[in-house]
Amino acid sequence: MKRNLILTLALLLATFSGFAQKNGQTVRGVVVDAFTGSPIVGATIVVVESNPIIGTNTDNNGEFVLTNIQPGRRTFTATIVGYKAQTIPNIMVITGKESALNFKLEEKVTNLGEIVVKGTHTKEKPLNEMAMISARSFSIEETERFAGSLGDPARMVSNFAGVVSGNDNRNDIIIRGNSPMGLLWRIEGVDVPNPNHFGAQGTTGGPISMLNNNLLANSDFITGAFPAEYGNALSGVFDLNLRSGNKQKYEFTGQVGFNGFEAAVEGPIKLGKLIRNGSFIADYRYSTLDLASKMGMDLGTGTAIPEYKDLSVIVDLPTSKIGRFKFVGIFGNSFIKLGRTFNKEEVSTHNQIGYATDFGAGLNVGLLTHTLMLGETSKLKTSISYQNSNSTTKNDTIDYVNKTYFLNYGGKLDENKLTASIQLKHRFNAKNYITSGFSTNRFITSFNDSVYMKSIDKRIILTEVNDKPSTLYKTYVSYQHKFTDVLTLNGGLHFQYYDLSKESALEPRLGFQWQAVEKHIFSLGYGLNSQIQPRTTYYYKQYNKSNGTYAENNKSLKFTRSNHYVAGYDWHVSKDFRIKSEAYYQQIYNVPISRVEKEFSMLNSGSNYYIADVDSMENKGKGYNYGLELTLEKFLSNGYYALMTISLYDSKYRAYDQLWRNTAFNSNFAMNLLAGYEFKVGKKKNYMTFDARTVLAGGLRYVPIDLAASKVAGEQKYDYSKAYVNRYKDYFRFDLRIGYKQNKGKFSQEWGVDLQNVTNYKNIYSEQYNTQLLEITTTYQQGFMPMFLYRINF
C-alpha cells in the first residue's frame, strides 16, 4: 500500500507540472477485463519513462484521459492489483487527432501481492482469450507501416508466416496451402461476405478492400485450430473490430491515395441523460483512377478503369442502464470493363485474349450489436444484421475484323442474408471461464446465368434460381481453465446445421499453452472444421444435349471437413524481440470432386473473380497440407522494427481419378523480410519513415495450355493430364515506402510514396492462347509502380 500511496502522490505532482506543457495532445482510453469486457475502476495509467511521471486513474466507467501529451512515440502502461499489467508500446501521438487506447487486462490466477509499475509486453497476443495458437493481433498502424500493404489488412497479413498472396492485383489470402475460400471474415463478431470491391460470391478477396483501415481497431488474425466460436471455415479467421469516434470533440480526416479520395468526420453524440458519451464516424471513399479519368487524364489503361465507391458509418451509443448499442454500416459498389476494345494489340492481365468483360459488384452490410454487462463477471452480446451482396457479369467474344461483340456469358447474382446471434461470456473465478453462443444465418439467393455453347450453337442455362431460401444454424461452447498463470487449457464444441443439404456437424476444439520457464511458451491446438459450399454450386444445372433437359445434380453436396493439428514454440528473447515456430498438419476430406471432370477438386477454387461451374460433384475428394513456419520479429522500438518469416509447406489433393496432385496453391515456400526505420526531423515533432519489404516465394501452379488442341478448336484448351505439375518461376518482389509525418498546431499531415516492385521484376500471372497469333502468350503481374498518399487530420 505504501508503494501505491507514493505513486498516487507522484501522479498528483505530475498533473500540476503538466500545465506547464503547451501544445500537447489528449490521449483517451478505457481499461476493461480481457475476458468479459467489464470496466476496471481505479486502474493506473502511466506514460512510460515520463519525467516527472505522467499518469492518471480510470473512473467508474473504466475510462481515463491524459492531457498535454507531447507529439511523438509514447508507451503507456495499465496496472491494478489482481491483474497482469499491460503495455501498449510506441503509440504515435499526433497533433491533428486524439489517440484512443483500449487496455484489456488479464486477471491473475495467483495474487502475488503489491504491484510494480512495470508492464508486460503483449504486442502480438490475440484479443480473443480462447485463441491459444496460430493467432496474433495487429494494429491499424501495421496496415500502413508495412511496405506494399497499401492500408489493406489482407495485404498486410500476407507478410505473416503461413500466408501467401495469390497475385499482385488481388488480396486473396492463401493460408497454409488452403484455398482462399476457406477464410472467414467477421466484423464486430458477425460473419460477413467478401468485404472487397469487385468480389464475387464464394470468393474472399478482390483488388480493393472495402474495409477502411482508418476505422479499424486492434483485431485478430487466426491461421488454424481456431476456438469453438468460429465456424463454417477451413483455413483461417479475420476477426475485425472497428473503433468508435471521438466522444468529446469533432475531428476530420482528408486523404488521397491508392484506395481512393477519402473524407471522414467523427464526433460526439449526446442525447440527454440516457446517452452522454456516444459517438459517430462517417467515412466516404471514391476511386482515385475513376475521378482522374473523369477529369480527362489519360491513365494508359484504356477502358479498364476501376470504378468504385464506399461509405462506412459507425454509431456507438453507450447508455447508463440498458447497455451499449453499436451500429455499423458498410455500403459499396464497383464496376470495371476489361478488354473492351477492338485493338487486338491490347492485352489485359485479367481477361483472356479475344474476350471483353464487364463486371460489377456491390456489398451492403448493416449490423447492430447490443452489449449488456450482467454484473462484473458476465457479458451478454446480441447482434442482428442485414447483408446484401450482388454482382453482374457480361463476357463477350470479340470480332476484331467486323468490330462487333457477341455475348458469350451473362450472369446476375443477388443474395440477401439475415443474421441474428447471441453470445454469453461468464467468469466463474480467476481460473475458469466459459463462452457460449448461437447464431442463425438466413440466405435468400437469386442467381441467373447462361453461356453460349459453341459445339451445339446454342445458349444454355447454367443456373436459374430466384429467391431461394436456406439457413445455416450454428451454436458453440468454449471452456477455459487456468491451472496457474503459466498453464492454460481450452476445450470447446461447435455445432452447425445447413437445411439446404440437411447436414449437421459436431466439431471438437482443443487448445493448450504452457510457459515452461520465463520467456518460453509451448502451445498445442486441434480443431475439426466444416464448411458449406458456395451457394451457386448447389444450384448449378447440367444440360443434357440428347434431350434438351436440365438437372441439378449438386443439391446433395455436404460440408467439406478438415482436422487441423498444430504445435508451436514461442521464445520472447527480450521485451521487443521474439522467435516463434509452428508445425502443422491438416487432413481434408469430403471435398467436392466431379466424375465428369476427373481432375477437378473444389480445393483449387476461390482465387479468381468467379467459382467454376462443375456438374455432378460428389463429396469423395481428399487433401492434406503440412508445413513448418518460422518468425523472427523485432517489434518497433528505438525507431526501428524488423520481421522475417519463412514458410515451408506441401499441399496435395486427390480427385475422382484417384491421383494425388499438387493443389493450385502449393507454392512450397515463402519468405518475407521487412524492416523500417523512423527518425525525428525539424523541431522533433515531425518524423521521416523508411520501410522496405522483400518477398521470395514459389511460383503459382498452373494447368498448361494444349496448343495443338487450341488451334483445332479455335479457342483455349488445357492439358488437364498435367494439371498443377509445374510452377511458374519463383515470385520475387521488393517494395519501398517513404513517408513524412508533420505535426503542426491543431492539425497534422502525412505524405507517403509506395514504390511497388522497385526492381520491375516480371512475375508471371498467366499464359493465354492468342486466337489471332495462334500461339501461347505470357502476361505478367504488376511491374514497377509508384503510389502516393496524402493525409490531413484536424
Whole-number Å distance between alpha carbons of 373 and 371: 7
Q: What are the φ and ψ backbone dihedral angles of 463, each rounded to 5 degrees? A: -145, 140
Whole-number Å distance between alpha carbons of 287 and 200: 19
Supply the pLDDT for residue 684. 67
Q: Pick from 387, 391, 389: which is nearest to 361 by CA?
A: 391
Whole-number Å distance between alpha carbons of 224 and 526: 8
SS (H, E, C) 597-629: CCCCEHHHCCCCCCCCCCCCEEEEEEEEEEEEE
Supply the pLDDT for residue 141. 82
Q: Pick from 243, 244, 247, 252: which is nearest to 269 by CA?
A: 247
Alpha-carbon Rg for the chain, nearest whole angstrom, is 27
Q: Using alpha carbons only, what angle is made at residue 338 by residues 333 and 344, rounded to the nearest 5 degrees? A: 170
Q: Using alpha carbons only, what angle is made at residue 417 by residues 413 and 423, rounded to the nearest 5 degrees? A: 155
Q: Pick from 32, 23, 77, 85: which is nearest to 54 by CA?
A: 77
State the residue for C-alpha cell 490475440. Answer: 126
Whole-number Å distance between alpha carbons of 380 and 608: 39
Supply the pLDDT for residue 19. 35
Please answer whether residues 447 and 413 qualify as being in contact, where contact means their C-beta atoms are separated by less than 8 angstroms. Answer: yes
State the residue for C-alpha cell 459445339. Answer: 455
Whole-number Å distance between alpha carbons of 602 and 458: 28
| DSSP assignment letter at 436 | E
State the residue for C-alpha cell 486513474. Answer: 57
Question: For residue 702, which amino acid is it?
Answer: Y
| DSSP assignment letter at 724 | T
Whole-number Å distance between alpha carbons of 56 and 42: 9
Task: Tell me the C-alpha to C-alpha distance, in Å, between residue 328 and each of 245, 269, 299, 331, 476.
Answer: 12, 15, 35, 10, 25
pLDDT digits (tens, 9 = 90+) for 114-172: 333 333 445 678 989 999 999 999 888 888 889 888 888 889 999 999 999 878 888 88
State the residue for C-alpha cell 463454417. Answer: 232
Secondary structure of residue 438 in the 3-state scheme: strand
SS (H, E, C) 642-681: EEEEEEEEEEEEECCCCCEEECCCCCCEEEEEEEEEEEEE
C-alpha cell of residue 465: 434460381
Secondary structure of residue 215 in the 3-state scheme: helix
Strands 25-33 and 99-105, bridge-based pairing? parallel
Q: Pick from 411, 409, 414, 381: which is nearest to 396 by CA?
A: 409
C-alpha cell of residue 733: 518482389
Whole-number Å distance between alpha carbons of 308 and 724: 34
Supply the pLDDT for residue 548. 85
Q: Where do the H-state alpha helices sit in 132-223?
A: 140-145, 153-157
Residues written for the chain: 794
Q: Pick from 234, 175, 200, 198: which is nearest to 602 by CA?
A: 234
Burial of 661 (0-12, 13-18, 19+ CB in 10 A): buried
Supply the pLDDT for residue 586. 98
Provide CB contacts within 8 A for 327, sequence distance 6+. 313, 314, 315, 317, 366, 367, 368
Find how far residue 25's CA is from the centre of its chain.
31
Supply the pLDDT for residue 142. 81
Strands 775-780 and 764-770, bridge-based pairing? antiparallel
Task: Tell me the C-alpha to C-alpha distance, in Å, between residue 579 and each of 220, 342, 509, 642, 693.
Answer: 19, 55, 26, 12, 19
C-alpha cell of residue 475: 451454436
Q: Pick from 407, 409, 397, 393: which is nearest to 359 by CA?
A: 393
Whole-number Å distance between alpha carbons of 142 and 136: 13
Supply the pLDDT for residue 298. 63
Task: Tell me the C-alpha to C-alpha distance, in Å, between residue 232 and each of 236, 306, 536.
Answer: 10, 32, 16
Burial of 391 (0-12, 13-18, 19+ CB in 10 A): buried
Supply the pLDDT for residue 349. 56
Whole-number Å distance between alpha carbons of 529 and 183: 12
Secondary structure of residue 695 in the 3-state scheme: strand
Please answer whether residues 700 and 728 qualify as being in contact, where contact means their C-beta atoms are separated by less than 8 angstroms. Answer: yes
Q: What is the largest CA-CA distance in the chain?
A: 92
Whole-number Å distance between alpha carbons of 661 and 654: 6
C-alpha cell of residue 73: 512515440
SS (H, E, C) 4-58: HHHHHHHHHHHHHHHCCCCCCEEEEEEEEECCCCCECCCCEEEECCCCCCCEEEC
Please answer whether residues 602 and 560 qualify as being in contact, where contact means their C-beta atoms are separated by less than 8 angstroms. Answer: yes
Please answer whether residues 460 and 429 qualify as being in contact, where contact means their C-beta atoms are separated by less than 8 angstroms. Answer: no
C-alpha cell of residue 312: 462506412
Please answer whether residues 93 and 25 qualify as being in contact, where contact means their C-beta atoms are separated by less than 8 angstroms. Answer: yes
C-alpha cell of residue 702: 498452373
C-alpha cell of residue 565: 493439428
Category of 430 on φ-ψ map: left (φ > 0), alpha (ψ -120 to 50) or beta: alpha
Please answer whether residues 115 and 85 qualify as being in contact, where contact means their C-beta atoms are separated by less than 8 angstroms. Answer: yes
Mean pLDDT (the chain) is: 89
Supply the pLDDT for residue 348. 57
Category of 189 on φ-ψ map: left (φ > 0), alpha (ψ -120 to 50) or beta: left
Please answer whether residues 565 and 584 qualify as being in contact, where contact means their C-beta atoms are separated by less than 8 angstroms. Answer: yes
* Low-confidence spans in the chain with pLDDT less than 50: 1-21, 112-121
- Strand (E) positions, 319-431? 324-338, 355-374, 378-399, 404-427
Whole-number Å distance between alpha carbons of 367 and 237: 19
